[in-house]
Every structure is written in C-alpha cells, then in structure tokens.
Structure 1
Amino acid sequence: MGQLTMIYDCIIIGGGIAGLQASIQLGRYMRKVAVIDAEEGRSTLCQKYNNILGFPHGVSGHTLRQAGEEHARRLGVHFYNDAVRHLHKNGATFEACGQLNIKGRKVLLATGVKDHIPTIKGVEPCLGLSIYVCPDCDGYEIKGKKTVVMGSGDTGAALAVILTYWSSRITFINHDQKPLSKKMLEKLQASQVALKETEICEVKEENGQIQAVETVEDGIIEAEKAFVAFGGNIVRSDLAAQLGAQVRENKHLIVDPQTKMTTVEGLWAAGDAVAHSELVTAAMGEASIAALWVHKSLLKEE
C-alpha cells in the first residue's frame, strides 16, 4: 500500500456525478480535495440521461464524468483510481485505505448504489438508450410504447404496475419464475399487465435500441423499450458503517437534512447512498449542499 503524506481538507470517495459535483464546489472554495474512484458506478454504464437541465437531447454518463473531472482538475482537485476498502478515523483525521492510504480532515461519501444488472446478452449495450432502471428518471421515455419489464417476482411486478402510468402496453417477464404474491397478481391483472413466466435468453438490439426479447417458453416478444427490476441492489454504505454511522433498514445512510452530515462527526454523504431518489439532478444538488457544509465546518476549525 502507498502512503500519501499530504492531508487533504476533504476526501471524496466516489467519482460519479455526486462526487464530481462536490469536488467542483470544494475546488471553488480553494480546498485541497482528493477524489477516489474505482470507476464502476452507475454513471459509467448509463449511456443517456434525459432529465438534466441544459441537455434537451440527453447526455451520457461518460460525457458528464469527463466534463466534471476536467472542471475539477482545473480547480486543483486531485484524482486517484482506487477502491477504498477501509475507512478509519484517528482523532480529527480520516484515513481511506485501498491500494493507497489517503488522509483527510473531512470525508464525503458519494459511493452510490450498485445495480443488479442481469448478465443477459444484449442488455448492457441498451442501458440508458432503450433499457432503463429508474421509473422516475426514465418512465417518460416509454410513453405509449410497447415495453417489457425484465425482472424477478414481486420486485419486477411492482415496477410493471408503476410503468402503466406512462404506457398501457406493458409485459412483465418473470425471468426466474419467482413466486408472485396474491396481492401482486391482483395488481397486475387490474393494471392489465401481460405476465410471462419464462426465462429470458437474449435481448435483440440494434445500436442500443431494443427490438425484442427472446424467451425460452414464449419465443420472441417484441419490444420498443424495457426496464430491468431484479432487486438485490447493493447500497454502498459499508465504509460509513465501519465508523458506526447510522443507516436505515434498507442500508441507506441517515444524514442531517440541512447539512448532509452523517451521524459521525466530519463524515458527509450525498447521492444514492443516502436518499436513493436515483435522480442524477438530486444527487448533484445534495452533493453541492454537502460540500458547502464541509467548507463551513473547515472554516470553524480554522
């Protein structure tokens, strides 16, 4: 492991959209900032965000990340490609340990959520283009379109019902045939969602646009759009938990509603690891607020 001698004003763990936005804000406060990122978050997969002010035709996660990093670097922010495994607090100093050991006076967690994306051929090339995970972010994209929900049990069925707000042409494919509750079956029927209990073989796509879903028992099911809902997403709050930070039953971090600081002094959090709204715009706003209060905390000490 490499030990860095510099003590940063703030370590940001997670270089996705929330982490980058926080780094820009802190950089503009002329703070010494280190961003540590393993380059495996949601924004590395999403090929198009459609709900961000200033991008009426959408923008990819790669483009946002690239622009955000360039912006932050111009402000003197340091970037490290590393996966933090342990987070320690010794007095007033935190230490983030991975391949490198990086010390800082404050820490902002922007570690997000790891989605359970099935390893079905054809899914990944379509993410953000014609296959989605968040109804609040992308429900509008399926308006009136023939849409397949690829999922598991009640989790997938619940999303299928939600999506009928945007389209009446919804088919739910219960990929692993996980038993559905009586209540959920009634909701599917009431919402006129077509139910297919069959394994998915492959997604047929062209240039990121889904054409159909090939299944074992029902053959080819045509689709213009799709969502995935398998459950089992992992909230990346384990580093905060190492320090005793309080989490909710669903593992999302509890933060002060004004400052975004966790229940551990000097440890902030923003983005999907907290509220899990899944909206990138919300993550950006929360990260900016968290950065503001990190700066205020540093000022008090100085």
Structure 2
Amino acid sequence: MKQQKDFDVLIIGGSYSGLSAALALGRSLRHVLILDAGQPCNRQTPHSHNFITHDGETPRNISEKAKEQVLNYPTVIFQEDFVVSGKKTAAGFEVETEKGNNFRGKKLIFATGVKDIMPNIEGFSDCWGISAIHCPYCHGYEFKNAKTGIMANGERAFHIAALVRNLTKELTILTQGKAEFTEEQFQKLKKNRIKINEIPLQSISYENGYMKSVHFADGKEENFKAVYAALPFEQSINLPVALGCELTEIGHLKVDFLQKTTIPGIFACGDNASPMRSVAYAVATGNIAGAMANNELCVADF
C-alpha cells in the first residue's frame, strides 16, 4: 500500500499533549499524522499523579490508553520516527524523518517536550522522576512528612520551599554554592526552620531510583528521601527554532493563549511551551492546539 504523504496537520511528538491534539483533530475528521520518537521525558516516573481519573496510574498506561482511543479515529495515523528537518512550503510545511520519509501538512503542531540537563552528580539521573523530583503537585504527596532537600538557589529555591513546607517540615535547601537570598528571605527561611547547606552534592546513594542518602563534597552525608531540583533544560529538537519560532527568556517556545507560536500555522503544546510540567496541563494545552489548528483550517476552507 502506498504510504500517505499529505495531511491536514502534522503533530511532532506523540505523548500526552500530542495525542490530545490529535483527538480534537480526529473528531473533526482531519487527516493527522503523529510522528513520535518514543522518548517521553517522564519515562522513568513510576506513577503519574494530580490528573483526575488517572491518579496513580503509570505514565505508560495513560499514554497507551490514550493512543488506543485516538487511533480509533480512522483519519489519525501514528508512526514511530524522528523528525530531523523541516521547511515552510507554499501549502504549509514539509518534514523529513530519520527513516528517510517526507510528509507534508497544512498545519504543524510541536508536542516535543524538553530535554532536562542533568547535573554532574553521580546517581542523580537514575533517581530523576522517582525521588529526584521537579513538582510538589506531581510528586509531593508521596514524600509527605519525609526529610526532603531542595536543590536550587535564590528566588527559585525560596518559591519551592514555600510550596513544599506545606508537605513536610524537614526541609533543607541545597544551594550548591553560596546562598543567594535577600535578607528578608533569609529571615523567613529561618523563621520556618528551613536549613541551608551550601556544600555541593557529589553523589546520591539509591536503590531502584529511590534515594537513601546524598553525599557532599566535604565528605559528609545526609539521609534524604527526596530532593526537588530546578534543572536547566533545552528543547528536544531544534526544528521549531530553525523554522523561526521564538523562545521565551527561559527557553520555552513562545505561544499565545491559543497555543500559537510566533510563526503562522505552527502551534506548540505541553512541556516545550510552558513551565507548568504536568500530564493534566499537557493534555489541556494539546486539546487547545488541536482545536485551534482545526479552526484555522475551517476558516480557510469556508
């Protein structure tokens, strides 16, 4: 059978936001191709939380169920492949994949997530998403009342401390160097009995991703159950920027409230376009991106 090459919408990324966008489009009878490399950023996370009706399920179960439901719509196709390049055309967009395929779409949706940049701390990457965590709403309840670290500094650390203090009173901020707080922040941290440790972390002892202790550069160690970390990141692929999409100051794709990027016809949803990293938020923004892409197609054809 000859492979279909032309679609109404190409969706790059087939996790929560991409599948959510495809669902809105499939229900609108749009011909959609989802291209997915199979590397979701939460692939190590054992359970997903704070997503109503799916609280406590594994990320894989949620995405597999979503994929099954989306592919019930006959105009939606899912293909495992990695997009390596793309260009604007008179009719829309064309992308080339790692497997040597070329596909064309009138609209383009990036649901590609971000790539977290791991710190040079032995054992950290093996704990990431399990006990080295990023979000108190996604993970905090599971570590309530447990001894917890916050690997951040300055305003970011202060913000996380305020949120996490509601979940545990055993808190230490791990600044990885000189603490950068205002005098007012120092006083507030002291009042709330939140400790500050400026000695850099060197390694983490763990079992199956669950940390037992953290080891510092001065040879000391502490037994933390969890460490929140504010990690730097980069876009998973550079194609959006290559096509002209602007980034925010901190590196997300710049979108408006309709998930439109700064390039007409290109939308973005999920982690690549927002610091609100959760399954629920990814699904919500994917739904909006799919609906708005369909709306533009409808208006153009009317």
* TM norm structure 2: 0.84
- Residue of structure 2 equivalent to 1:137: 138
**CA shift for structure 1 position 92:** 2.1
**CA shift for structure 1 position 24:** 2.4
Compared CA separation, residues 125 and 59, structure 1 to 2 (3 A): farther
Instruction: Say if 2:7 is the partner of 1:8.
Output: yes
- Residue of structure 1 equivalent to 2:228: 227
- The one-letter code of the counterpart of 2:70 is A
Q: Which one is further off, 14-23 or 166-175?
A: 166-175
Give matches, 1:1-302, under 5 Å: 6-56=5-55, 58-76=56-74, 77-99=76-98, 100-118=101-119, 120-151=121-152, 155-156=156-157, 159-175=160-176, 177=177, 179-183=178-182, 188-229=189-230, 231-236=231-236, 238-257=238-257, 259-302=258-301
Partners of 1:145 and 1:169 in 2: CA distance: 7
Compared CA separation, residues 245 and 129, structure 1 to 2 (3 A): closer
Compared CA separation, residues 19 and 255, structure 1 to 2 (3 A): same
Compared CA separation, residues 189 and 96, structure 1 to 2 (3 A): farther
- The one-letter code of the counterpart of 1:295 is N
Partners of 1:131 and 1:250 in 2: CA distance: 22
- The one-letter code of the counterpart of 2:69 is H
What is the number of residues matched between the two proteins? Answer: 294
8 Å CA contact 2:44–2:130 kept in 1: the answer is no
**CA shift for structure 1 position 186:** 5.3
| Paired residue secondary structure (2:26) | helix
| Paired residue secondary structure (2:229) | strand
**CA shift for structure 1 position 269:** 1.4
Partners of 1:18 and 1:88 in 2: CA distance: 23
Compared CA separation, residues 152 and 97, structure 1 to 2 (3 A): farther
8 Å CA contact 2:93–2:105 kept in 1: the answer is yes
Compared CA separation, residues 124 and 67, structure 1 to 2 (3 A): farther
- The one-letter code of the counterpart of 2:259 is K
- The one-letter code of the counterpart of 1:53 is I
- Give a deviation string over 1:117-157, Cα, whole Å, max 9, x none: 33644444544443311234333333322112245676556
- The one-letter code of the counterpart of 2:216 is T
- Give a deviation string over 1:20-49, Cα, whole Å, max 9, x none: 211222223232211122223323232221
Compared CA separation, residues 67 and 122, structure 1 to 2 (3 A): farther
Partners of 2:219 and 2:57 in 1: CA distance: 35
**CA shift for structure 1 position 221:** 0.9
Unaligned runs of 5+ in 1: none
**CA shift for structure 1 position 267:** 1.1
Compared CA separation, residues 192 and 87, structure 1 to 2 (3 A): farther
Compared CA separation, residues 225 and 120, structure 1 to 2 (3 A): same
Partners of 2:147 and 2:35 in 1: CA distance: 41
8 Å CA contact 2:36–2:79 kept in 1: the answer is yes
- The one-letter code of the counterpart of 2:73 is L
Unaligned runs of 5+ in 2: none
- Give a deviation string over 1:70-118, Cα, whole Å, max 9, x none: 3233324323333323331111220123323221111111122222233
Sequence identity percentage = 28
Give the RMSD, CA atoms, in angstroms: 2.8
- The one-letter code of the counterpart of 2:232 is G
8 Å CA contact 1:47–1:127 kept in 2: the answer is no
| Paired residue secondary structure (2:48) | coil
Partners of 1:185 and 1:116 in 2: CA distance: 28
**CA shift for structure 1 position 190:** 4.4
| Paired residue secondary structure (1:252) | coil
| Paired residue secondary structure (1:74) | coil
Partners of 1:117 and 1:187 in 2: CA distance: 30
Partners of 2:58 and 2:121 in 1: CA distance: 22
- Give a deviation string over 1:175-200, Cα, whole Å, max 9, x none: 4x3x3324265554444322223343
